[in-house]
Amino acid sequence: MKKNNVVEIAILSVLGALVVLTLVIPQLLRERSESRLLALSVLLRDTDSTGLAVARQGMEQAADELGAELRFLTLTVRNDGREQAELLRREAEGGADALIALPADPQSLQEALDKLPRPLVTLEVPVQGGTGTVSPDNEAVGRLLARALLEDWDGGLILLLDSSGFCPEAALRLKGAFDALAQAEGEVPVLVLDYGYWDSLRGARWVMAFEPGATLQAAEWKQAEGETFALYGVGSSTAVTAQLEKGNIAAIAAWSDYAAGYLAVQQAVRAVGERPENLEPLPFSIVRGEDIYAPENQKLLFPVMSSSGR
């Protein structure tokens, strides 16, 4: 074959291949954009999802934008780590593309995950082998909350409610608070109390709680019992906010549950596509009762509830 003919055939082949390629690529792009909905299972540690109402809104917004379908699964017994691990196993076997969990027992989840590896994004508490955790810096939460207390503190024993038995993340917050109080100038008396022994709070002046449930219960107990201690807690639910407004809580550490839910789904979808990113700790604020209606705090504490039910 002559050299000219070879060159001509090569040029025609390249042009022909380009034509085919430019016709096929849009088709491939369309097929990719028309990919199926991802199945994401959300494992809660409560018997209902009311405590995660705002986070759920964020999750649903992200699912809507990123093409995912959410299944919310609650436990029959609150904080039952074994049941949660069983649910994880069942969902993984059932074809869930990724899982999102608010761990009741990180150890049980880790064991289940070892047997059936799946992308797992956790809220609040990390699980070994998971794809990431959406959470504020828990130690920093405890530390800053303690500093807020110290700004008001004029002496007296500070009680730290330890609810880490059913809320693993509380342990880190408590540690942060404890360290901050220990490092404070002068001698600050601190006592760690197991959660649930409400009578121990009688006559107390300073109390700290480290998860929303404990914070709310302490505030409600305080109101019911007519106690006057200054309560510093965690959470941004409506109930917690109402107690903050009423003065039953002096200050709270709050972050956007909506953002937490959104980021958890976003990370899960990225993990399915094998491109997860390192998650930064969620930003949080210390909100005092008198600042509750500051414009930025309104946006943080009172989510805009969409009527569309997105």
Q: Which residues bind another protein (CB under 8 A)?
A: 4, 7-8, 11-12, 15-16, 18-19, 22-23, 25-26, 29, 57-58, 61, 238, 241-242, 245, 256, 258-259, 262-263, 283, 293, 295, 298-308
Tracing tokens 């980021």 back to the chain, one arrives at: 263
Nearer to another protein, 60 or 162 (CB): 60
Q: Rounded to an integer, what distance in angstroms lies between the CA atom of residue 308 and that of residue 310?
A: 5
Nearer to another protein, 184 or 259 (CB): 259
> Rounded to the nearest whole angstrom, what is the least distance from the CB of residue 147 to another protein in the complex?
22
Nearer to another protein, 18 or 157 (CB): 18
> Rounded to the nearest whole angstrom, what is the least distance from the CB of residue 109 to another protein in the complex?
26
Tracing tokens 């408590």 back to the chain, one arrives at: 174
Nearer to another protein, 74 or 236 (CB): 236
> Rounded to the nearest whole angstrom, what is the least distance from the CB of residue 191 to another protein in the complex?
32
Q: What is the 3-state secondary structure (H, E, C) of 110-126?
A: HHHHHHCCCCEEEECCC
> Rounded to the nearest whole angstrom, what is the least distance from the CB of residue 2 to another protein in the complex?
9
Q: Which two tokens stand for residue 112?
A: 């289940």
> Rounded to the nearest whole angstrom, what is the least distance from the CB of residue 25 to another protein in the complex?
6
Q: Which two tokens stand for residue 68?
A: 């995912």
Nearer to another protein, 59 or 144 (CB): 59
Closest by CA to 190, choosing from 227, 211, 226, 162, is 162
> Which amino acid belongs to residue 139?
E
Q: Which two tokens stand for residue 206?
A: 């300073």
Classify burial at 175, counting beta carbons within 10 Å of its beta carbon; exposed 0-12, middle 13-18, buried 19 or more: middle
> Which amino acid belongs to residue 4?
N
